[in-house]
């Protein structure tokens, strides 16, 4: 896995090879790990992500006319599109996450010049670490700087989300993009997705003798499918049945009685996960903000995973096996992170035990015939920014 400096060098080199001269600048946008609060963002709830030091590098130059030419190191190809022709339901593949930003800008009355772009990422693809948001937000940040849009971080995130929702067809909430633009070293972000407010909360596990492990199950993770799309639909139906604007508005007090009035067992379980996981975000945030022992959040991580597994039904066997294995290997708590149906498990562990916990996860995966997982220690990093030029 290349570090960002090496990624910049290779991306600029690829740009020169593909387009014949140097880019005007290079930008970077990170992926994210969500500590807790899954599928709560499109329910107006709370989330608690950190930005990663891993993400997407984009080398960019303006060009005459309204054409977009993009080289992707991962795809091993260069593709192009006329910005005027980009529209919803168009089959653009990976290019949708780039071209969609230009389309989203045009919907807001912004003039989007044509661009030449070379891009590369050091995030594992399909791991649920928001590689797509890092791509769309890196592109949006570069476009804003070069076109003189002077957009805020929230506006950049909105462009990225619109590109993903409307052009790529990925029904994401707003968390991924906000985390990518608002990340800060040594901090987690408690995001209120209704008011779109971001509270920076100190997140220095090393000072407490702890590490946050991210373990990639290497089970394929895809958001553009019927299983993922069903969850927002069910949540809207549950809110309607409960007579509230969004599930965020259902109080935690008396929840069993409230849910007991629902006629659908499926909607009852979907609602219970969202309501309780959003509440867990607040509880974890208070522990971190008050300087409490972060080991206390271990149980909340385990509870969140059980809720995703049993009520929201978005985990898969390789992920469940990893979660149980890392807890057995000594983690204080662990949960799946990301949209589900594959992806990563995060684990809160004592510093110095990381290798043992990863080996325990690998043994468990091997025993069940699953792909060998890979792990790394996550640290909170800065958000989308210009690196050179």
Would you please indicate which residues are annotated as catalytic (active-site) residues? 176
User: Using CA of residue 144, residue 145, residue 147, residue 152, what is the dihedral sign?
Assistant: positive
Question: How far from each other are the two terminal CA atoms of the chain, in whole angstroms?
Answer: 25
Cα–Cα dist 333/239, whole Å = 30
CB atoms within 10 A of CB 125: 12
In whole angstroms, give the CA distance from residue 248 to residue 231: 15
Of 346, 333, 342, the residue nearest 375 (C-alpha): 346
Is 275 exposed, middle or buried, given 0-12, 13-18 or 19+ CB atoms closer than 10 A? buried
Q: Give rounded-to-5 percent helix, strand, coil for the chain.
A: 45, 20, 30
User: What residues are paired with 207 via a beta bridge?
Assistant: none
Burial of residue 59 (CB within 10 Å: 0-12, 13-18, 19+) is buried
Q: Is 266 helix (H, G, I), strand (E, B) or coil?
A: helix
Q: What SS3 class is residue 24?
A: coil
- Measured CA to CA, the distance from residue 153 to residue 137 in angstroms comes to 9
Distance CA 176, CA 41 (A): 9
DSSP secondary structure code for residue 250 in this structure: S
Distance CA 381, CA 42 (A): 24
Please state the φ and ψ torsions of residue 374, each to the nearest 5 degrees: -130, 145
Backbone dihedral angles phi then psi of residue 232, each to the nearest 5 degrees: -60, -40
């Amino acid at each position: 896995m290349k570090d960002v400096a090496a990624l910049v060098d290779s991306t600029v080199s690829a740009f020169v090879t593909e387009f014949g001269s140097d880019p005007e600048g290079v930008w970077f946008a990170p992926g994210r790990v969500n500590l807790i609060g899954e599928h709560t963002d499109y329910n107006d709830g709370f989330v608690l992500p950190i930005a990663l030091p891993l993400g997407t590098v984009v080398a960019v130059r303006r060009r005459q006319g309204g054409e977009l030419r993009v080289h992707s190191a991962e795809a091993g190809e260069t593709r192009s599109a006329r910005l005027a022709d980009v529209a919803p339901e168009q089959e653009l593949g990976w290019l949708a996450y780039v071209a969609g930003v230009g389309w989203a800008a045009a919907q807001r009355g912004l003039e989007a010049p044509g661009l030449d772009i070379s891009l590369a990422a050091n995030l594992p693809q399909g791991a649920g670490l928001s590689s797509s948001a890092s791509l769309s937000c890196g592109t949006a940040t570069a476009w804003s700087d070069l076109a003189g849009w002077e957009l805020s971080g929230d506006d950049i995130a909105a462009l990225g989300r619109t590109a993903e929702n409307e052009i790529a067809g990925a029904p994401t909430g707003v968390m991924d993009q906000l985390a990518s633009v608002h990340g800060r070293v040594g901090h987690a972000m408690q995001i209120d997705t209704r008011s779109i407010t971001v509270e920076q909360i100190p997140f220095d596990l090393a000072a407490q003798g702890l590490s946050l492990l991210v373990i990639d199950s290497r089970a394929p993770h895809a958001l553009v499918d019927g299983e993922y799309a069903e969850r927002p639909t069910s949540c809207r139906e549950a809110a309607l049945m409960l007579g509230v604007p969004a599930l965020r508005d259902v109080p935690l007090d008396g929840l069993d009685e409230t849910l007991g009035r629902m006629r659908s067992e499926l909607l009852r379980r979907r609602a219970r996960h969202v309501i309780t996981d959003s509440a867990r975000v607040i509880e974890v945030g208070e522990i971190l903000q008050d300087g409490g022992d972060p080991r206390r959040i271990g149980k909340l991580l385990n509870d969140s995973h059980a809720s995703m597994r049993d009520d929201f039904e978005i985990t898969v066997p390789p992920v469940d096996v990893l979660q149980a294995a890392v807890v057995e290997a000594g983690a204080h708590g662990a949960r799946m992170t990301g949209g589900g149906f594959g992806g990563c498990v995060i684990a809160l562990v004592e510093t110095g035990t990381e290798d043992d916990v990863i080996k325990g996860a690998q043994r468990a995966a091997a025993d069940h015939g699953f792909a060998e997982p890979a792990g790394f220690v996550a640290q909170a990093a800065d958000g989308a920014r210009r690196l050179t030029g």
